[in-house]
Amino acid sequence: MSVNHSTSTGESPTEPEPSVLASLTGFQRDLLFVVASLEGTVPTGVTVQEELADQRGDRVNHGRLYGNLRDLVDADLVEKRPVDGRTNTYRVTDTASEALRAHCQWEALCLGRECVEGEDEEDDAADDEDDGPTYSRRWDY
């Protein structure tokens, strides 16, 4: 069944842009959140794999991890930089960072909770610019 979205004025309605994350699998979204949570470190694929396994509570297959990282790099959501001839490091792009922040806010809205960016204990304004975004959820009950 199709729904007619036309307006009586002949103007086409403006539809919201789909979220950057809408086309990703749940695994890929989890992967983005893990890479973002490792901001400020030099996360290699092995580091990402271990952290993702800890968060999900199960082993993450090597092929699944690197295939999905490659897809996220191709989608311009993750940057991959070589460390040496065999090791790479990963970080989320600004596009992915904004999309993750929006996703967190949407989740919080759905749950009636607050989603905030992580805060350092010794937080000061000068350090905020250099640190880049961090992601942690604080649910105020």
Tally of structural domains, the chain: 1
Query: Which CATH number characterizes residue 61's domain?
Result: 1.10.10.10
Show the domain range for 72.
26-120
Count the alpha carbons within 13 Å of 83 in the hemisphere toward its beta carbon: 12
Give the integer Cα–Cα distance in Å for 13 and 6.
7
Give the integer Cα–Cα distance in Å for 121 and 66.
34
pLDDT tens-digit map of 22-61 = 889 999 999 999 999 999 999 999 999 999 999 889 999 9
46: part of which helix (H) or strand (E)?
A: helix 45-56
pLDDT tens-digit map of 125-135 = 444 444 444 44
Does residue 7 or residue 66 have the better pLDDT? Answer: 66
Residue 137 lies in a domain: no
pLDDT tens-digit map of 92-118 = 999 999 999 888 888 888 888 877 665
pLDDT the model gives residue 116: 66
30: part of which helix (H) or strand (E)?
A: helix 26-37
DSSP at 39: T
pLDDT the model gives residue 53: 93
- Which two three-digit tokens encode residue 105? 């806010």
Residue 16 lies in a domain: no
Residue 106 lies in a domain: yes
pLDDT the model gives residue 118: 55
Would the pLDDT of 136 be above 80?
Answer: no
Would the pLDDT of 137 be above 70?
Answer: no
Residue 8 lies in a domain: no
